[in-house]
Structure 1
Amino acid sequence: MKSTHTIFLLIFTAFVFMGCEKLVDDLNENPNQLTLDDIDAGLFLNGAELSNISIQLGSYSRMAGYWSGQLVGFEQTEFERYQYSVTSSTFDWDGYQSVLTPLREIQERTIDNPLLLGISKVIEAHLVGTYASLFGDIPYSEALTDIENPIFDKQTVVFAQLQLLLDDAITELENAEGYGVLEDFIFNGDRQKWLESAWTLKGRYYTHTKEYSLAYNAASNGISSSANNMMFNPLDITGENSTKNKYYILLEAGPYTGTSGSYLEQLLDETSSVSRNNSKTDETARLKYYTIDQTSGDANLGIAHELEPQPMITYRENLLILAESGLRTNGFSTGLEHLNELRTFLNTGSFLNDNFSSESYAYEVYITEDFNAGGIENLDSIDTDSALLREIIEERYVSGFTTFMAFDDTRRLQKSDSDIDVPFALNVATSTQNVERMLYPEDEILSNTMAPSDPGLYEATEVNQ
């Protein structure tokens, strides 16, 4: 892993995503003297954001969907990934250069704008936390330094470092009132939205490490409404397909991925033997909205529509962190309260787009009796707390579709909570084991002498052992 700043990449992202007229004028006047110091540090933000979006919503999230039963790969590369046919060359850590390098440039040169600093640290924590979750031990403390062969930090150490980084980001964002940023594709410089995302990320990572009391406290300050979700909002630019929904882009090229036959589809289908529909839950609309038709990008009007926003950190996730960690630390009533907050939100139908808002749906609030032995959420008569936990995890599986939530939960809970029949689905046609991690990228293995031997797909990472 090299620490060299890729000047061309940074200038390119500034050109493409910021459209800064002054920057273009400077280039025309004296291109040979342009250096990083000539570019306002704030202009690196959009490029880092867009690169991070591509990583969070790209091939890794699809593989996570294949390996947790939410998606099916139908042709070529996507079929191979669905069949677990991957090697180290399948993966890369391009985000170290395309995301972390511009962010570090911001952090090194920005001393008087706490808003820009805070935003940069939230994005860094988002990327690095995703890598740590998916791969386990990764370079971090020595990455992008003068050290040519950085060590691989333990996964738990990385998560601890990210909690401190997010603490710094929160302090900076709390002190950032009145400050602005030049460019911010995600939240347009909205300090409160960035602040809430930072708290929800803390809750996510404390959930990964099973520190549930800390997760609850963090999520209590997290995303407070769906209006504050961190989303990728596709752009409708004439002649430009790359700005569209990531699933739409893939499906325009061929019938590569979809939901047909997936465990997710079965959970939502009222005719299925594992259906989660009951007298208080009607998933008809969500099933149709979540359906990804592999035959044509244009056939998709729901979650894979060309201009449909794609979630990264959301109000629904935050409520489900509160529900699970609240149940585990404060008891049944706390968990149920937060689950019902989510169900009340779902019952507004606002999570659907206009193509499906007229379809039937229902998410009536649950009461304690629904989870007692013989209740509608406890037909197999397990203990009441376990029945509620099962429903919360199942809702995380469904609400987290197209994010990493189901894959993360599969690995986190299959050992510690295997006794409650949580809804973890293998791609049973091709494997008898759950994938525990992704493989270290070939480029890193070949270039970094400190890279350890890769333990393979089925070796649990430190936090999931």
Structure 2
Amino acid sequence: MRLKISAATSRLAAGLAVAAITLGACRGFLEADKSVADPNNPTAAATNQLLVGASANLMGLEESSMAMIVCQWVQQCGGVGGRFVEQQAQYVGVNSDSFDATFSSLYTGGGLIQLREIQSRADKAGDKVTKGIAEVMEAMVIGFGADIWGDIPYREAAGDNPMPAFDPQMQIYDDLQGVLDKAITDLAGGGNGPGAADLFYGGDKAKWTELANTIKARLYLHTVEKLGNAQYAKAIAAAQKGISTPNNDFKDPHTDATTERNMWAQFQLSSFGQDLVAGKPLVDIMKAQDDPRLSEYFGKNPSGGYGGYDQALANTPPDQISPIAGSDRASNGGFSIPIVTFDENQLILAEASFVTSGASAAAPFLNRVRALHGKPAIGSPTLQDIMYEKYITTFENPEAWNDYKRTCLPSLRPALNKSAIPGRFYYGSTETQTNSNAPDDSGLNLFAMRNANDPNSCR
């Protein structure tokens, strides 16, 4: 099992993956009547308890400080204040220790090992629905890791090899397509499913099946730059069976209870919350389109309007910068953070249709999203129109970084005096120190490193 890789990895995951990464946002769920047993210890927890723990881990990955740095690197957010937030926005202080716990949580603390245990138990119990749900979550967790780090352990990661090999990123993407195909088949099978232990969809297998197809489409997009535009046709085929209505959006569930608020809201209440502000490129795009989501994303600046911090020039007057505090999302700790949505699915169809068939084929999908947000239709959209809409849609979502690396849209300038926007993160230090197969990238130039699916820098 992966637990054998290092005791340090196990301790980090158990202590940090759910508690620290989620900043407490999920602790309340783990205090429910049927979740009091240790959700990260397969020998001491029931299958549904394991699923709750794995769900909390997934929520932690999607809302972690990783997502906040991505928000800054694609300049949806800005960093000010002279402390660590501003430094990270300028690509400073990011090293192999920065996301050590995040890397570990791909496997332990509710990661791959736990998800495989859930699948094994569900299979033995004849509960194909629960097995399918865990398989979709596996694809999301490992896909998250492959998107960020490229080559990571996968095929040997949940076995008994204490030094699992690092599999090639493109192989992992292909493997995950197979996992998602299995999940779709299993979700159509028998079994009672997890019911209320499914924090996302309450055991609704139709919604999980749609999610699986949207994830398939998303992963196909992630291979376009390397494998070519033929991947767009595969993305279309999957997205056509993907999330069919906003009511089926995959969101992290939260409440206003102190321990269950979303991480973004909790961060705004911390001593560093005021350092994370609106980014100028996103605010400018939204203002130009009179997008009604401005107040959802950002508070008003001291001048009474909306503006963002220019990370490339680093000289925006303070009275022109909108905070994230005071926004509808930050003021509402119970806001459920969107992770995979109908909007994203439609915009996958728009991008793929534009490239394969032209503007007229893309327009219905783009305009369906714009109509939902009270914006006028665009008769003959450009790829920029599509990617601007997706840039808005994926606020606070790591998927925005994948979109930017693939399309280089919107056109962004690197942070002040930097040569490029980084394309990946360093591996966690615990992994590089305890797994002899781990590539040691700690001394490499952050701006020169790229993953296999993204061979070309935008700058």
TM-score by length of 1: 0.79
| Residue matched to 1:106 | 118
Q: Would you say the 8 A contact 1:84–1:430 is kept in 2?
A: no
Question: d(CA) in 2 for partners of 1:78 and 1:108?
Answer: 41
| Residue matched to 2:46 | 40
Question: d(CA) in 2 for partners of 1:167 and 1:151?
Answer: 24
SS of 1:337 mapped into structure 2: helix
| Residue matched to 1:431 | 418
| Residue matched to 1:457 | 446
Q: Would you say the 8 A contact 2:268–2:330 is kept in 1?
A: no
Question: d(CA) in 1 for partners of 2:395 and 2:157?
Answer: 31
Work out the percentage of aligned pairs sharing the same amino acid: 28
SS of 2:453 mapped into structure 1: helix
Give the superposed CA RMSD: 2.8
Task: Give 1:107 deviation, angstroms.
Answer: 1.5
Out of 334, 340, 359, which is 1:307 matched to? 334
Task: Give 1:154 deviation, angstroms.
Answer: 0.7
| Residue matched to 1:249 | 266
Question: d(CA) in 2 for partners of 1:15 and 1:393?
Answer: 36
Please say if 1:264 is aligned against 2:287: no
Amino acid across the alignment from 2:97: S
Q: Would you say the 8 A contact 2:71–2:77 is kept in 1?
A: yes
Question: d(CA) in 2 for partners of 1:219 and 1:202?
Answer: 8
Structure-to-structure mapping, 1:368-383, within 5 angstroms: 368=380
Task: Give 1:137 deviation, angstroms.
Answer: 0.8
Question: d(CA) in 2 for partners of 1:138 and 1:177?
Answer: 33
Task: Give 1:208 deviation, angstroms.
Answer: 0.5
Please say if 1:202 is aligned against 2:216: yes
| Residue matched to 1:334 | 361
Which moved further from structure 2: 401-410 or 451-460? 451-460
Relative to structure 1, the CA distance from residue 248 to residue 182 in structure 2 (aligned partners, 3 Å threshold; closer, same or farther) is: closer
SS of 1:97 mapped into structure 2: coil
Question: d(CA) in 1 for partners of 2:85 and 2:195?
Answer: 39
SS of 2:251 mapped into structure 1: strand
The answer for unaligned runs of 5 or more in structure 1 is 270-274, 348-362, 372-387, 415-421
Task: Give 1:395 deviation, angstroms.
Answer: 1.0
Q: Deviations over 1:48-81 (max 9, x none)?
A: 1011101111111111111111111234322221
The answer for unaligned runs of 5 or more in structure 2 is 20-25, 225-230, 301-320
| Residue matched to 2:202 | 188
Q: Deviations over 1:191-249 (max 9, x none)?
A: 11111111100010000001111011100000011111111121233xxx231121111
Q: Deviations over 1:3-50 (max 9, x none)?
A: 34969959x9999635565787xx8xxx9xxx8456432221011101
SS of 2:431 mapped into structure 1: helix
Question: d(CA) in 2 for partners of 1:186 and 1:426?
Answer: 37
Q: Would you say the 8 A contact 1:258–1:292 is kept in 2?
A: no
Structure-to-structure mapping, 1:318-357, within 5 angstroms: 318-347=345-374
Out of 90, 94, 98, which is 2:104 matched to? 94
Which moved further from structure 2: 78-87 or 125-134? 78-87
Question: d(CA) in 1 for partners of 2:412 and 2:175?
Answer: 32
Relative to structure 1, the CA distance from residue 84 to residue 106 in structure 2 (aligned partners, 3 Å threshold; closer, same or farther) is: same
Task: Give 1:432 deviation, angstroms.
Answer: 2.4
Please say if 1:286 is aligned against 2:316: no
| Residue matched to 2:189 | 175
| Residue matched to 2:241 | 221
| Residue matched to 1:374 | none
Q: Would you say the 8 A contact 1:302–1:308 is kept in 2?
A: yes
Amino acid across the alignment from 2:98: T
Relative to structure 1, the CA distance from residue 426 to residue 174 in structure 2 (aligned partners, 3 Å threshold; closer, same or farther) is: farther
Question: d(CA) in 2 for partners of 1:228 and 1:431?
Answer: 41
Question: d(CA) in 2 for partners of 1:303 and 1:20?
Answer: 25
Structure-to-structure mapping, 1:100-139, within 5 angstroms: 100-111=112-123, 112-139=126-153
| Residue matched to 2:433 | 446
Amino acid across the alignment from 1:151: A
| Residue matched to 2:84 | 77
Amino acid across the alignment from 1:288: S
- Larger of the two Rg values belongs to structure: 1
Q: Would you say the 8 A contact 2:127–2:191 is kept in 1?
A: no
| Residue matched to 1:3 | 3
SS of 1:104 mapped into structure 2: helix
| Residue matched to 1:234 | 254
Amino acid across the alignment from 2:173: F
Q: Would you say the 8 A contact 1:68–1:424 is kept in 2?
A: no
Task: Give 1:161 deviation, angstroms.
Answer: 0.6
Task: Give 1:425 deviation, angstroms.
Answer: 1.7
SS of 1:188 mapped into structure 2: coil
Question: d(CA) in 2 for partners of 1:408 and 1:213?
Answer: 19
Relative to structure 1, the CA distance from residue 65 to residue 337 in structure 2 (aligned partners, 3 Å threshold; closer, same or farther) is: same
Amino acid across the alignment from 1:464: D
Task: Give 1:176 deviation, angstroms.
Answer: 4.3
Relative to structure 1, the CA distance from residue 38 to residue 290 in structure 2 (aligned partners, 3 Å threshold; closer, same or farther) is: closer
Task: Give 1:144 deviation, angstroms.
Answer: 2.3
Task: Give 1:365 deviation, angstroms.
Answer: 1.6
| Residue matched to 2:397 | 403
Task: Give 1:457 deviation, angstroms.
Answer: 2.5
Relative to structure 1, the CA distance from residue 57 to residue 292 in structure 2 (aligned partners, 3 Å threshold; closer, same or farther) is: farther
Relative to structure 1, the CA distance from residue 298 to residue 432 in structure 2 (aligned partners, 3 Å threshold; closer, same or farther) is: closer
Out of 385, 391, 394, which is 1:391 matched to? 385
Amino acid across the alignment from 2:169: Q
Q: Deviations over 1:119-163 (max 9, x none)?
A: 101111111111101111111111121111111111101100110
Q: Would you say the 8 A contact 1:259–1:292 is kept in 2?
A: no
Q: Would you say the 8 A contact 2:78–2:278 is kept in 1?
A: yes
Relative to structure 1, the CA distance from residue 304 to residue 236 in structure 2 (aligned partners, 3 Å threshold; closer, same or farther) is: closer
Question: d(CA) in 2 for partners of 1:185 and 1:447?
Answer: 34
> How many residues matched?
402
Q: Would you say the 8 A contact 1:115–1:172 is kept in 2?
A: yes
Relative to structure 1, the CA distance from residue 142 to residue 254 in structure 2 (aligned partners, 3 Å threshold; closer, same or farther) is: same
TM-score by length of 2: 0.80
Relative to structure 1, the CA distance from residue 218 to residue 297 in structure 2 (aligned partners, 3 Å threshold; closer, same or farther) is: closer
